[in-house]
Amino acid sequence: MRPAAIAGKPGEEVALTGKSYSSWVHSAVNDGRLLVASAPPGLGRGYYLMTPNMGGEPKFKRIECEMAKKGVLDRVSVSPSEKRICFEFQTGFRSKGMGGRTLYIADFDVQKRAITNPKAFANEAAKPFWFAYPRWIDGEAAVIYHSGKTGKNQLDVYRLEDGSTKRVSTNEAADYRYPHGEAAPC
């Protein structure tokens, strides 16, 4: 399946799942499947690669991940090569707001549908600060994310090669949620 062209207009949206269960799209892979958190009927809550089926039922294939048994993966971002992912992790399944989440990078096998070898890179101690919205930049050399560790808003960049973290934002009053990789400061 090839992804739809990016030329839609308001009102042309198409529902990909039924109304009886929730699905949250986190990211996509090159063949058009979507990485979702969902609870499809008969399959239970989990993380899936979902193949949309316009006009029919989508197909869900579970992603194996030990961490998913212990808590919530959120804002999952698949790397350009589809060999890694970055995400927020919260221990437990009850909403605790945004504070206390740890950011991870893990290996991702899109064919086997497996997330393995997670490595924390921000807020490993799960302190009650806001660490969120990790996204790949500079190919797969770095991850940019929102950090509230100082009690103020900032953007940090984590470099995989040397494990360094650098603040790249300048306005602590700005809202740095939802960073994207295009033209991001490195």
b/e map of 127-166 (b: 16 or more CB within 10 Å)?
eebbbbbbbbbeeeebbbbbbbeeeebbbbbbebeeeeee
Closest among 63, 119, 59 to 89, alpha carbons compared: 119
Strand order from edge to edge, sheet including 84-91? 71-78, 84-91, 102-109, 114-122
What SS3 state is found at 131? Answer: strand
What SS3 state is found at 53? Answer: coil
**Which residues does 11 contact at the CB level (< 8 Å), separation at least 6?**
none
Whether the per-residue pLDDT at 84 is higher than 90: the answer is yes
pLDDT above 70 covers what percent of the chain?
Answer: 89
**Distance separating alpha carbons of residues 140 and 161, to the nearest angstrom:** 10
Residue 170 pLDDT class (50, 70, 90 cuts): confident
Q: Is-above-0.75 flag for pTM?
A: yes
Question: 74 or 15, which is more confident?
Answer: 74
**Distance separating alpha carbons of residues 115 and 73, to the nearest angstrom:** 11
pLDDT tens-place string over residues 104-162: 999 999 999 999 999 999 999 988 888 888 999 998 999 999 887 766 788 899 999 99
Architecture of the structural domain at 66-186: 6 Propeller (2.120)
Q: What is the pLDDT averaged over residues 75-91?
A: 94
The residue extents of the domains of the chain are 12-62, 66-186
Whether the per-residue pLDDT at 79 is higher than 80: the answer is yes
